[in-house]
Amino acid sequence: MGSMLTLTAGDGHKFAAYRADPAGKPKGGVVVVQEIFGVNKHIRELCDGFAKDGYAALAPALFDRVERNVDLGYGQADMERGRALRSKIKWENVLADMQAAIDALADAGKVGVVGYCWGGSVAWRAATQLRGISCAVGYYGGQIAPFKEETPKVPVLLHFGETDASIPLSDVEAIKKAQPKVPVHLYPAGHGFSCDHRPSYHAESAKLARTRTLEFFAKNIG
C-alpha cells in the first residue's frame, strides 16, 4: 500500500521512511515511530492502517544513522540486536530526524505523532521539544519517566500495560504525578500489547487503545 522514500534531516543526514497515503484527501498526517525493531512489517502495517483511517502516515527509519534497512522480528536475538542499535543512537539525532518527518507531512494538514515501545518515548520528547505537531500518543514508552519533568507543547495521550515487565508501575505513577493534565491509560496487558506479531499481544487492550488514539487524533488533528 505504501512506499519507501528518502528524507533529509537538518544536518544533511539522508534516511529512509515508509509512507502510506489515504485514498482521498487526508484528514491530517501521523508520524508513526518505530519500536527497537526498525521499520518492520508491523510498523508498515500500522502506517497502512492509519492511511485507511484517512491519515497520511509516515514511519521514519530512525536507526539509519547507525545501520540501514533494519527490519527485525521479535525473538530474543532480535531484542538484543534492537537494544544494541538503540544504545548507539543519540537523542539529538532522533529529534532531528523526527523534525524532518514532521515537516515532510505538513502537506497533509495538521500532524500528530504516535510511537510504540522506544517510539513511545520518542513521541513524548517530540511533544516537548519539536515544532509543527498538534498532538502525540505514546504506547509503553520506557524512557518517558526520565524526561517526565519536560513540558509538552501539545496535548499528549499515554498508554501503558499493567503487567509490563520493563516499565514498573512506579514509573507510570511518577509520570502521572509530574503531568497531571496528561491522560494516562492502563491496560490489563504487558509490554508490546498493541503488536499482533508479538506473544504479548492483547487484542482487547490493543483495540481499546487504538479507539482512544483515533478519537484523540480526530479531536486534535481532524
Q: HSE (CB half, 13 Å, CA atoms) of 116?
A: 28
- 196 included as an active-site residue: no
Angle between helices 118-129 and 91-104 (to 10 degrees): 70
Backbone angles phi, psi at 37, to 5 degrees: -110, 10
Place of cell 491509560: 185
Point out the catalytic residue in the list 64, 97, 164, 171.
Answer: 164
Distance CA 212, CA 222 (A): 14
Active site residue 47: no
Annotated active-site residue 117? The verdict is yes
Kindly state the cell numbers that stand for 97: 530526524
- Catalytic one among 42, 47, 64, 117? 117
- Residues with a catalytic annotation lie at 117, 164, 191
